[in-house]
Amino acid sequence: MKQIGVLHTPFNGLNGIPIQSIRSDSPGTVELYPEYLDGLEGIEEFSHIYLLYVFHQSRNEVKLKVQPFLDDRMHGVFATRYPVRPNPLGFSVVRVTGRQGSILEFIGADMLDATPLLDIKPYIPAFDVFNTEKEGWYQNRKHQ
């Protein structure tokens, strides 16, 4: 995988960082590397985008059983969005608020500053919204 840019956010440590982008009103920017600038053509026509990135401050610690932030019980890591994973990959859906050349501004930062960016994809409700029947542990979580 190639890093295509870097994410800038107000978060330098894990304390106070939002749990998910939908719960964040924090601003951030995407600094796309110049060789990928042409790939942004048309991005401002979307209100939301997916950012795929690396948990760069992960300590190469892999846990297969974790206690997610929103529950007090243990679950398999693949049944959570917990960041201590075999491959330290993260994703967020954020709201695009502006673009200046290779810099994208967004709201919904839930990642650390200087996070390596791997990809950007448009959020398209016709493809990305599902009616679900089950939500696993989340529907019965202890912390509401």
CATH number, domain containing residue 77 = 2.40.30.70
- Flag the least confident range among 21-25, 39-43, 55-59: 55-59
Query: Quick one: average pLDDT of 94-112?
Result: 97
Angstrom distances, CA of residue 82 to CA of 33, 65, 89, 143:
28, 10, 10, 16
Paired with 51 in beta bridges are 92, 120
| Structural domains counted in the chain | 1
Which structural domain, as residue segments, surrounds residue 65?
5-140
CB atoms within 10 A of CB 131: 4
**Do residues 103 and 7 lie in contact, with contact meaning Cβ atoms separated by under 8 Å?**
no
**Do residues 105 and 98 lie in contact, with contact meaning Cβ atoms separated by under 8 Å?**
yes
Taking 80 as the threshold, does the pLDDT of residue 30 lie above it?
Answer: yes
Q: What is the pTM of this model?
A: 0.90
DSSP H helices, 1-143, are 125-128
Both tokens of residue 132?
């679900």
Strand pairing category for 75-76 and 65-66:
antiparallel
Query: Quick one: average pLDDT of 4-27?
Result: 92
